[in-house]
């Protein structure tokens, strides 16, 4: 008996016969299946075959991206299938087995407050770009969210009906949308549920429309620009810090901790102002008012500076560090504070809200 409480959503761009083959296996299992034609320029006959099977096809006249296709499907299901308890998204290239799709659907219905993921083990013959790409995104994702996800690139996901309105509010129209969907899970009532699935790659994953370089930049664009901005300010800050530290030791007879504090103040006043301008204009492209964001930014700067000073001075004393060794300790401490600063600026300081004035 087919499941009428779960909708299967398949975004497709230039599909081939693997899509209709998958649908033939899913139809006995699920009563509601929806396909989104995301502006395909080939494979038109495949969509004719989908319609012949009584499956609705939603159409984007031009290619808008996987994220946009998923949102179109979510919206249609909410409006036309109000009885659905969950939506399971699957890829059109045949790399998700019907049995795995069914298990993700079952797990999603059992956890109505959590995002469910079909996760691959990446064992056996896996294309290098897929193995490396997943390893890299797992590490970055964990650092940014503190959520341990085994497969950040999986397209097989179960979304409870109660989370669909939230999914429609997330930004992004292409592959970055799926990463934002994962990141949003830290705000859910339950952590993501991870269901092991078979790792399948057909013809070295040649049908994938994911561009590792282009789409990775899109996914992590803000973080990459933040890194560049921070590295520049980091180099400026440490150069000024070292110069001020040696100047303070030469011109005064202050104790070591006092010299460290003076060097911190001089270096941070200059580098933080430069960093604020770069982050506001180039990294986050924020329209939050200058007055508000600048005040919040300096609250964050002072908090991080106090933490950095406390740890740097404390470790310098414990380790009896002198001269350049203190700079090395400072570098280690502030590396640990880097990701905290990124999250605070993205979610608190430069978050969209007030307009510039």
pLDDT for residue 31: 92
Pairing of strands 116-120, 157-160: antiparallel
The pTM score is: 0.61
If 0-12 CB within 10 Å is exposed, 13-18 middle and 19+ buried, where does residue 329 land?
buried
pLDDT for residue 1: 44
Of 280, 300, 303, the closest CA to residue 352 belongs to: 280
pLDDT for residue 123: 59
Number of domains within the chain: 2
* Per-residue model confidence as pLDDT tens for the chain (357 residues): 456 799 999 999 999 999 999 999 999 999 999 999 999 998 889 999 999 999 999 999 999 999 999 999 999 999 999 889 999 999 998 889 999 999 999 999 999 999 999 998 765 555 655 566 667 677 777 766 778 888 888 899 999 999 999 999 988 887 778 888 888 888 888 999 999 998 775 544 444 545 544 545 555 565 566 667 777 887 888 888 888 777 766 555 556 667 777 787 888 788 888 888 888 887 777 777 888 888 998 898 888 878 888 888 888 888 877 777 888 888 888 777 877 787 788 778 887 544 443
pLDDT for residue 229: 75
Query: Token digits for 303?
Result: 């908090």
Query: Token digits for 281?
Result: 């204009």
Look at residue 357 and tell me if it is in a domain.
no
Query: Token digits for 307?
Result: 């933490």
What are the distances in angstroms from CA 99 to CA 15, 51, 202? 21, 23, 18
Domain span at residue 45 reads 3-210
Last residue of a domain, one of 210, 245, 275: 210
**DSSP string covering 268-281, please?**
HHHHHHHHHHHIII
**DSSP string covering 41-98, please?**
SS-HHHHHHHHHTT--EEEESS---HHHHHHHHHHHHHHH-TT-SEEEE--SSS-S-H
Residues 329, 278 share a domain:
yes
Which CATH number belongs to the domain containing residue 74 in this structure? 3.90.550.10
Residues 248, 198 share a domain:
no
């Amino acid at each position: 008996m087919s499941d009428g409480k779960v909708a299967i959503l398949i975004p497709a761009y230039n599909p081939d016969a693997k899509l209709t083959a998958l649908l033939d296996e899913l139809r006995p299992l699920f009563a509601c299946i929806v396909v989104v034609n995301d502006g395909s320029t080939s494979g038109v006959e495949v969509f004719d075959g989908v319609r012949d099977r009584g499956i609705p096809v939603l159409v984007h006249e031009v290619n808008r991206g996987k994220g946009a296709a998923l949102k179109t499907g979510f919206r249609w299901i909410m409006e036309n299938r109000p009885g659905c308890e969950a939506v399971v998204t699957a890829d059109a290239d045949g790399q998700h087995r019907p049995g795995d799709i069914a298990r993700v659907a079952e797990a999603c219905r059992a956890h109505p407050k959590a995002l469910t993921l079909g996760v691959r083990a990446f064992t056996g013959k896996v294309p290098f770009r897929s193995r490396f790409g997943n390893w890299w995104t797992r590490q970055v994702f964990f650092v940014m969210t503190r959520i341990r996800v085994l497969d950040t690139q999986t397209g097989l996901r179960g979304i409870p009906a109660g989370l669909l309105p939230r999914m429609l509010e997330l930004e992004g129209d292409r592959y970055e949308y799926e990463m934002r969907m994962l990141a949003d899970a830290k705000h859910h009532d339950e952590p993501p549920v991870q269901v092991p699935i078979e790792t399948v790659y057909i013809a070295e994953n040649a049908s994938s429309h994911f561009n590792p370089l282009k789409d990775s930049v899109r996914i992590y664009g803000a973080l990459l620009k933040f890194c560049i901005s921070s590295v520049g300010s980091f180099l400026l800050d440490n150069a000024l810090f070292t110069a001020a530290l040696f100047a303070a030791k030469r011109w005064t007879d202050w104790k070591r901790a006092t010299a460290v504090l003076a060097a911190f103040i001089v270096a941070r006043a200059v580098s933080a102002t430069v960093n604020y301008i770069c982050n506001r204009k180039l990294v986050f492209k924020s329209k939050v008012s200058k007055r508000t964001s600048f005040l919040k930014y300096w609250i964050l700067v002072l908090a991080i500076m106090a933490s950095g000073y406390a740890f740097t001075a404390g470790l310098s004393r414990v380790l009896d560090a002198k001269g350049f060794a203190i700079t090395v300790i400072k570098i280690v401490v502030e590396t640990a504070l880097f990701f905290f600063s990124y999250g605070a600026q993205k979610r608190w300081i430069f978050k969209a809200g007030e307009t510039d004035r």
